[in-house]
Amino acid sequence: MKTWFVTGASSGLGLHMTRTLLERGDKVVAAVRRSEPLDALAVRFGDRLRVVRFDVTDTAALRAAVVDAFAAMPRIDVVVSNAAYGLFGAAEEVTDAQIDRQIATNLVASIHLVRAVLPHLRAQGGGRILQVSSEGGQVAYPSFGLYHATKWGIEGFLEAVAQEVAPFGIEILIAEPGPTATNFAAGLDVATPLDAYGQTPAGDVRRALLGGNFPVKGDAQRTVDAMIAMADENRPRRRRALGSTAFENIEAALRGRLDDLRAQREIAYGADSLESAARNA
């Protein structure tokens, strides 16, 4: 039996994960803003489900909930940073307030969650942090620029943290699902469109998404099962693309960037100092 701390546990992948973990016999500390979606699970699973209510953008409340959770449980094996939502709109269309909320929820709150749990994971001799990112942490769609900024940002942060905490037995895992059949689209914060972007790639994505024509191949339960399996493995790879769309898009993006990089080798080396170039000659 493992114990998990899951944010964003009241809907989408977080709710699927919470239910699946409880059904297999694990314990879950479920962090939510609204507890009602978990009421039936609380009745069914009793003290194996501990529900804590706070807004992840309230850093003081987040830290207090983490302290309480680790105090209440002998050990927390996996911390799942899942709370997030999508902001949709071209860079010129989104408002300052929308930008601030997107970054506060997806990026800053995720950073603070990691910072809050690290002392406890060190004290217990290790554990794992599973960040639910997205294919959007390595690729980009028009009109999702701010969402991508948060996902690319948290992945970069965790690449550094993984190196910092490895000596303590703490492992960082990053799941990158592609478009998946959840309530993600229903929860989108959609910016007011500008006519100027109507006949552009940004407008094309808007019409496809809001018209129900954006291809969604991922299955929520199978995605959650893959994430849980990742966290269970003895020696998992740090990143895991989930879904054919994610795999194909990430592979194409990485190949393209690698081709661009290799084509500029001489230019890159030409920026070294003359002394360094002479030493490496």
C-beta of residue 84 within 8 angstroms of C-beta of residue 65: no
C-beta of residue 130 within 8 angstroms of C-beta of residue 78: yes
pLDDT tier, 214 (very low <50, low <70, confident <90, very high otherwise) = confident
- Which pLDDT does position 187 carry in this prediction? 78
**3-246, CATH topology level:** Rossmann fold (3.40.50)
Domain ranges for the chain, please list them.
3-246
Residues 262-281: tens digit of each pLDDT? 999 999 999 998 887 677 66
pTM equals: 0.93
Percent of the chain with pLDDT over 90: 88
Listed residue (114, 29, 42, 95) closest to 68, CA to CA: 29
**Has residue 251 got a pLDDT over 90?**
yes
pLDDT tier, 55 (very low <50, low <70, confident <90, very high otherwise) = very high
- Mean per-residue pLDDT for 222-238? 96
- Which pLDDT does position 215 carry in this prediction? 78
Pick the residue with more confidence: 213 or 80? Answer: 80
For residues 230 and 4, what is the distance between their CA atoms, to the nearest angstrom?
14
Residues 147-171: tens digit of each pLDDT? 999 999 999 999 999 999 999 999 9
- Which pLDDT does position 281 carry in this prediction? 66
Residues 68-97: tens digit of each pLDDT? 999 999 999 999 999 999 999 999 999 999
- Which pLDDT does position 234 carry in this prediction? 94
C-beta of residue 129 within 8 angstroms of C-beta of residue 172: yes
C-beta of residue 168 within 8 angstroms of C-beta of residue 121: yes
C-beta of residue 166 within 8 angstroms of C-beta of residue 118: no
- Tokens 């994971």 correspond to 121
Distances (CA, A) of 204 to 20, 89, 93, 143, 178: 37, 12, 15, 10, 19
- Which pLDDT does position 90 carry in this prediction? 97
Question: Which residues are marked as active site?
Answer: 133, 147, 151
